[in-house]
Amino acid sequence: MQPSPWQPPVELSEQEEHIVKKVRKAKLFVFLRKHRHELFDQAFQEELATLVAFRKRLIEAHMDRRLLERTLEIANQSQAFGPRALRAALDSSPLWGAEMVCGTSLKAVLDRDGDQVGQREEA
């Protein structure tokens, strides 16, 4: 069952008008607000529902974790990013979404698992 499509108002509210008039540097956000009804039309919302369903299946199969691990492996091998810089970038991103619980950061999990892998390799 898909949720009903989002139908945001096209016109700016008085409060939004007031905010938009004051915006000087964040023009992208003004653009996104003014065009959100075009960006999130019916067809695109259906595509997003497909993406959300895919992400859910990915998480249920723990493949989100594997995708991040694989990204770190390839980045380390290619030396395109240092592991610390990439982990910091991933840790500050919303990749874990609602799945991140108990205040455990991605960096902490990867560091812990990396230590465990090192211990297994030494054994």
What are the phi and psi torsion angles at 56 (to 5°)?
-60, -45
Phi-psi region of 79 (alpha: psi -120 to 50; beta: other; left: phi over 0): left
Q: What percent of the chain has pLDDT over 90?
A: 20
C-alpha neighbours within 13 Å on the C-beta side of residue 92: 5
**Per-residue confidence band for 35, with pLDDT thresholds at 50, 70 and 90:** very high
For range 81-106, the mean pLDDT: 59
Provide the 10 A C-beta neighbour count for residue 108. 12
> What is the C-alpha separation between 81 and 78, in angstroms, rounded?
8
Q: Among the ranges 13-22, 45-54, 88-97, which has the highest mean pLDDT value?
A: 13-22
C-alpha neighbours within 13 Å on the C-beta side of residue 99: 16
